[in-house]
């Protein structure tokens, strides 16, 4: 019985999806425009925004991966940028 009711509910929703979408647009115009907003937070790049503990943890993790596992998580240029930022 639950599957039978679910089938009919989904069938009705499938048939009326255009009408439901139009009603949703009329009721919730503000939610539709959320994707059009521009966010400008004036943030610096990733490396400069890391605090000391996160930077040290990332450096130790990369060094461990390179020494123990013989693989790189970050490429050499990115790893140098991570180590050189204050």
Whether the pLDDT of residue 60 is over 90: the answer is yes
Same domain membership, residue 84 and residue 52: yes
Q: Is the pLDDT higher at 24 or at 59? A: 59
Contact of 73 with 65, CB cutoff 8 Å? yes
Tell me the pLDDT tens digit for each residue of 8-58: 999 999 999 999 888 888 887 766 666 666 777 888 888 888 899 999 999
The model's confidence at residue 77, banded by pLDDT at 50, 70 and 90, is very high
> With DSSP H G I counted as helix, E B as strand and the rest as coil, what are the percentages for the chain, rounded to 5?
75, 0, 25
Contact of 9 with 15, CB cutoff 8 Å? no
73 φ/ψ angles, rounded to the nearest 5 degrees? -85, -45
Q: Round to whole Å and give the CA distance between 77 and 31.
A: 41
pTM of the model: 0.52
Whether the pLDDT of residue 7 is over 80: the answer is yes
Same domain membership, residue 55 and residue 31: no
Owning domain of residue 11? 1-38
Same domain membership, residue 50 and residue 31: no
Residue 26's pLDDT is 84
Same domain membership, residue 85 and residue 52: yes
Segment 52-79 mean pLDDT: 94
Domain count, the chain: 2
């Amino acid at each position: 019985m639950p599957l039978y009711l679910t089938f009919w509910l989904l069938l009705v929703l499938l048939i009326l999806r255009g009408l439901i979408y139009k009603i949703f647009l009329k009721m919730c115009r503000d939610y539709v425009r959320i994707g059009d907003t521009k966010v400008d937070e004036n943030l610096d790049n990733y490396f400069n925004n890391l605090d000391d503990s996160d930077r040290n943890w990332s450096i130790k993790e990369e060094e461990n991966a390179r020494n123990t596992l013989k693989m790189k998580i970050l490429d050499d240029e990115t790893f140098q940028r991570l180590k050189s930022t204050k």
